[in-house]
Amino acid sequence: MTASAIPSSHSFPFDFSPRTVQDTELLQQLQFVPGLKELLTVRQVHALEHATVWVLSELGRSPLASSSAPSTEQLGGMSTERGFYLYGAVDPVTVEWAVHRALQRLVAGEWDLAVHPRCGTNVSVGILLTAGLAIGANLLLPKDPLGQLLGLGLAATAAAGLAPDFGSLAQRYLTTAIPFNLTVQGVTASRDRLGHSVHFVQVQWVESAAVKSVVTTAAPHAYA
């Protein structure tokens, strides 16, 4: 990934800009809905996971970065309602700094950091688009084998072209949310069965008003 791939900071389109208390209000209004808080938490954690990968990839391109600094392609993540797993050869101190820095930047308005081109959401959207376009082609094109094969090829090609943009929209408005309600509790380092580095970033849900003060005072400054 090149430096030009780093997302720029601007408001979401259609004036759907995130509000600090949006998830808090939604939770208060629909608190009777089972699993709602967990769903809202996962969306915010997902955004923090993506932003952390962006920050680490920026660090890897820094002139001061070591040769062992990870590239974006070497990093992966998985979000849960308790936090997220980060897979990649990064030392825990760097991960903790990157998580706090990512949270600071997201809350400060760099909302594009919540979207990442290698997110699994893009794959899911691509599969759905391919299936939908293939069904449409099956209904509209001649039923002979050649016509159906042509339709399937066109559907796959169109889906491949549309998936990145539609996947990005799905991430912005469905699978991620700005983590106004999250604080970082800590980072735990371990290894999987194959000996690969795994870090678990634990988070906690807090009221929105408390986030800004916590974020500005809690982050380590080793890389500032």
DSSP per-residue string spanning the chain: --GGGSPPP-PPGGG----TTHHHHHHHHTTTSTTHHHHHHHHHHHHHHHHHHHHHHHHHHSTT--TTPPPGGG-EEEE-SSEEEEESS--HHHHHHHHHHHHHHHHHT-GGGG--TT-HHHHHHHHHHHHHHHHHHHHHS-SSHHHHHHHHHHHHHHHHHHHHHHHHHHIIIII----TTEEEEEEEEEE-TTS-EEEEEEEEE--GGGHHHHHHHHS--TT-
* Range in 2-16, 57-71, 176-190, 197-211 the model is least confident about: 2-16
* Range in 40-44, 89-93, 179-183, 208-212 the model is least confident about: 208-212
Residue 32 has pLDDT above 80, yes or no: yes
Residue 140 has pLDDT above 60, yes or no: yes
What are the extents of the domains in the chain? 20-115+176-218, 120-174
Q: What is the mean pLDDT of the chain?
A: 81
Q: Tell me, what's the pLDDT at 187? A: 95
pLDDT, one tens digit per residue, over 157-212 is 888 888 888 989 999 999 999 999 999 999 999 988 888 889 999 999 997 654 54
Residue bearing the bigger pLDDT, 5 or 70: 70
Residue bearing the bigger pLDDT, 67 or 107: 107
Residue bearing the bigger pLDDT, 112 or 142: 112
Residue 56 has pLDDT above 50, yes or no: yes
Q: Tell me, what's the pLDDT at 64? A: 44
